[in-house]
């Protein structure tokens, strides 16, 4: 009954011959040249991804910081102007409503980049903190976004930035600034979801296709490929990044998901779920997220496959993929504690058969 939203970059995808699939209420490209080629391009050169489906919510006003402090699990007060960090919107049980990136653009101006599937829910939760000193704007489909990722992304972005004399240099990791590229204003952050060096570019609807095409043009000599949701998923899992709806859900706390690093419990103010997270952080939770790696030639691990230690079922795979970089299966699994340690042998079950895997660090590729 509900129709699928179209990306502002849809004409670009069509011109590139992308294969389009429905995703989180949107029509989005799953691949252009092919998932493996796009995955490889991003690891070795550069990839350009449409992220216009991701929500861009702006919190403005002299009460913006206080409102965000009362809702988010990482402390927004830690951010300086032009800085961003990973954070969570939690329910009262400490479960994840959404995982997001929060950027401080100024003392009274913040940008939240949220998951498409949770965007409407996020706005509803944020509205509970609305008052005359803060406004939240940014409904689904009101902005364009793209991610330029990979070792050659700084070279490509620099070409576009240098065309304008007033631009600052490309942002340092986790920083965001205003730029003018391809004749349009954009916010550019040095963040991403691939485990590679890279940038996320946030702009308005009309500027989206112009900047997209300009980046593709600038990257022509750098083996840049447009990349779809398929490679976005395999890239993020190799980097050990969670996907909301699979690895994260309202029934899983960030501490159980192994993301306790991003929860700040030292600050005085309360936030939803804090009373559940405090004992979990201190004493450990009853479940935890581990990495699993398989062997070449074995069936790949997938979402929802059960995980066994000997005869005992200890949990379930939350995300799994045959890793294009490593040539074997990799997975994140939510298991009961005490969890087996790295290097220990486990099995998952698929089609009535057990497949051996080893416990691994959750980051499957080296940190860049």
Partner 1 sequence: MTTPNDLLYAKTHEWLRLDQDSATVGITDHAQKELSDVVYVELPKPGRKIAAGEVIATVESVKAASDIYAPVGGEVKEANPALSSDPGLVNREPYGQGWLFRLKPDQPKPTGLLSPSDYATTLPH
- Give the binding site for partner 1 (CB under 8 A): 30-31, 34-36, 39, 230, 233-234, 297-300, 302, 321-322, 324, 350-351
Measured from the CB of residue 182, what is the shortest distance to partner 1 in angstroms? 31
Smallest distance from partner 1 to CB 238, Å: 11
Give CA–CA dist 367/240, Å, rounded: 10
Q: Name residue, tokens 């485990």.
A: 195
Nearer to partner 1, 35 or 45 (CB): 35
Closest CA to 111 of 131, 149, 85, 73: 85
Nearest by Cα to 19 from 178, 230, 194, 207: 230
- The Cα 150–Cα 366 span in angstroms is 14
The residue among 219 and 329 lying less far from partner 1, judged by its C-beta, is: 329
Q: What's the half-sphere exposure (Cβ side, CA atoms, 13 Å) at 127?
A: 9
What is the β-pairing status of strands 224-227 and 176-181?
unpaired
User: Minimum distance between the CB of residue 353 and partner 1, rounded to whole angstroms?
Assistant: 9
Output the six-digit token pair for 233.
Answer: 């998923």
Minimum CB separation from partner 1 for residue 319, in Å?
Answer: 12
Of 31 and 347, which CB lies nearer to partner 1 in the complex structure?
31
Of 19 and 58, the one with the shorter C-beta distance to partner 1 is 19
Return the beta strands (E) in the chain as ranges: 5-6, 19-23, 26-31, 46-50, 55-60, 83-90, 96-106, 109-114, 135-137, 144-149, 176-181, 184-189, 198-203, 224-227, 287-293, 306-309, 312-322, 329-336, 345-350, 353-360
Q: Which is nearer to partner 1, 56 or 323 (CB)?
A: 323
Q: Say how far apart CA 304 and CA 131 lie, in whole Å.
A: 42
Smallest gap from residue 331 Cβ to partner 1 (A): 13
Q: Please state the closest distance from residue 282 (CB atom) to partner 1, in A.
A: 40
Q: Which is nearer to partner 1, 24 or 157 (CB)?
A: 24
């Amino acid at each position: 009954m509900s129709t699928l939203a179209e990306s502002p970059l849809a004409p670009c995808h069509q011109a590139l011959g992308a294969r389009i699939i429905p995703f989180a209420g949107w029509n989005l490209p799953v691949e252009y040249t092919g998932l493996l080629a796009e995955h490889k391009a991003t690891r070795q050169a550069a990839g350009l991804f449409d992220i216009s489906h991701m929500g861009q919510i702006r919190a403005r006003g002299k009460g913006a910081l206080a409102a965000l402090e009362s809702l988010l699990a990482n402390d927004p007060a830690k951010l300086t102007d032009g800085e961003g960090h990973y954070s969570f919107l939690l329910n009262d049980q400490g479960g994840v409503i959404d995982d997001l990136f929060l950027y401080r653009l100024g003392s009274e101006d913040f940008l939240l980049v949220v998951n498409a599937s949770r965007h409407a829910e996020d706005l509803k939760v944020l509205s509970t903190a609305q008052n005359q000193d803060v406004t939240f704007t940014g409904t689904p489909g009101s902005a364009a976004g793209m991610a330029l990722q990979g070792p050659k992304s700084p070279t490509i972005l620099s070409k576009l930035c240098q065309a304008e004399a007033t631009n600052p240099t490309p942002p340092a990791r986790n920083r965001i600034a205003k730029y003018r590229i391809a004749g349009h204003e954009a916010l550019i952050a040095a963040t991403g979801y691939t485990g590679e060096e890279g940038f996320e570019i946030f702009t308005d609807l009309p500027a989206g296709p112009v900047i997209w095409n300009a980046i593709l043009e600038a990257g022509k000599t750098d083996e840049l490929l447009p990349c779809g949701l398929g490679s976005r998923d395999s890239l993020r899992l190799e980097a050990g990044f969670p996907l909301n709806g699979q690895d994260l859900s309202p029934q899983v706390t960030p501490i159980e998901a192994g993301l306790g690093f991003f929860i700040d419990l030292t600050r005085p103010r309360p936030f939803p779920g804090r009373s559940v997270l405090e004992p979990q952080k201190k004493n450990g939770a009853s479940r935890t997220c581990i990495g699993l790696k398989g062997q070449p030639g074995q069936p790949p691990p997938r979402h929802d496959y059960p995980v066994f230690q000997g005869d005992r079922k200890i949990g379930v795979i939350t995300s799994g993929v045959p890793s294009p970089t490593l040539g074997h299966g990799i997975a994140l699994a939510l298991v009961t504690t005490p969890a087996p340690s790295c290097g220990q042998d486990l099995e998952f079950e698929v089609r009535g058969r057990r497949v051996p895997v080893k416990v691994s660090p959750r980051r499957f590729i080296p940190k860049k």
